[in-house]
Amino acid sequence: MNNLKNNTIDYTLVLIVILLGLVSLFTLYTITPSLPAKYDNTNFILQQFIWYLAGGFIIALIMLIDYDRFRQLTWVIYGTGITMLLMLFFRFPAAIIHEANGAVSWFKIPVMGTLQPAEFMKVILILALAHVIYNHNQKYQNQTIKSDLLLLAKILLVSLPPTGLIAVQPDLGGLLVLAAITTFMILVSGIRWRIIFSILLVGASSIALIIIAYYIFPDSVATFLEESVFKHVSSRFYGWISPEQYSDSGYQLILAMLAIGSGQLMGKGMQTMEVYVPERHTDMIFTAIAEQFGFVGSSIVIALFFFLIYRLIHIAILSNDSYGSYLVTGVIGMFAYQIFQNIGMSIQLLPITGLPLPFLSYGGSSTLTYLIAIGIVLNVHSRTRKYMFE
């Protein structure tokens, strides 16, 4: 069979990422004058541009290496990620540990600023799970229920340590992203659907029991949440269900919906923002787009994200190497969940969890993570071989 096409770059995906980057820089430019005075000395546009340049350089480096080589370094990379999370857990060394809003989630690096290991752990988990699933399916060609359960155990064994360490920071948003990645990887791992449906049934039943317990014993459930690691979850839950009644925890949500609703169809115009929304340059950047450019501008941004996910799915299907497909599937899970969660929490569809909007929100660790993920996808696509006769 003749190899007709190899080492090609997916310029469509590159274009989509560039457009999202331009939207990010433009939006940061429009909202900078309305940010609180404490940010007066911070040039968000320049810093975000530098992170994009750094990410582009990393993508170029990733493209030089055959993605199959990543499997040889999987456990070294995974171990590095776990080590960083353990350093945050033990708060060692204390000199570089940074705490904000009650969460110990960052390293404070001179010159670079803050670094959030939980962001990089998303890509690291994708690499580790793809490696585990690929090796298992290569070893067990004839699948049985026993081998499927063994694979499920392996996936959970790899996923639970970073998930647990991120949970105790506490970082509910990061935990949910790792859970979404794990779920997507399980769906394509080849595990029998009856096993997957059984897991979903147990999960749905557990959620139902929690909801029933909340309505029967509201005080006990509230006390349990207050005494747990996620004591902030209860206030966010109440603020989500009834933001007017719980004005303290629902304050940001009320303002977000006011900003989005006030944009109406065409928006108020560039740099015309009359509603103050906390953290508008990071987690709530979508509210700035909606208020300035209305439903039309918001729809354009959502359409860009739709094309991004569509292109990733196309690349995953096109890949004739299962390991490459697993890698891209993990990236799809990461992006799809974060996009849905971020926009959903801005319109009260989901509780606020403090997740950035991929490629748009300001942030060094998150921007680099997304671009590293795109570099891996481009690598998979560039080395996907097409034959005249499949």
DSSP state at residue 350: S
Selection from 291, 250, 251 nearest residue 272 by Cα:
291
Selection from 168, 193, 171 nearest residue 119 by Cα:
171
Kindly report, residue by residue over 355-390, the tens digit of the pLDDT: 899 999 998 899 999 999 999 999 999 988 765 555
Domain boundaries, the chain: 3-125+242-387
Kindly report, residue by residue over 133-172, the tens digit of the pLDDT: 999 999 988 888 999 999 999 999 999 999 999 988 888 8
What residue ranges in 19-139 does DSSP mark as E strands? 97-100, 103-109, 113-115
Which residue is it, tokens 């096993």? 195
Give the SS3 label for residue 107: strand
CA 333 to chain CA centroid, Å, is 8
How wide is the angle at C-alpha 182 spanned by C-alphas 179 and 126, nearest 5°?
A: 115
Asked whether 344 and 350 are in contact (CB, 8 A), the reply is: yes
Selection from 381, 344, 356 nearest residue 62 by Cα:
381
H or E element that contains 315? helix 285-318
pTM of the model: 0.91
Asked whether 23 and 302 are in contact (CB, 8 A), the reply is: no
Instruction: Give pLDDT, residue 3.
Output: 43
Residues near 258 by Cβ (< 8 Å), separated by ≥ 6?
Answer: 275
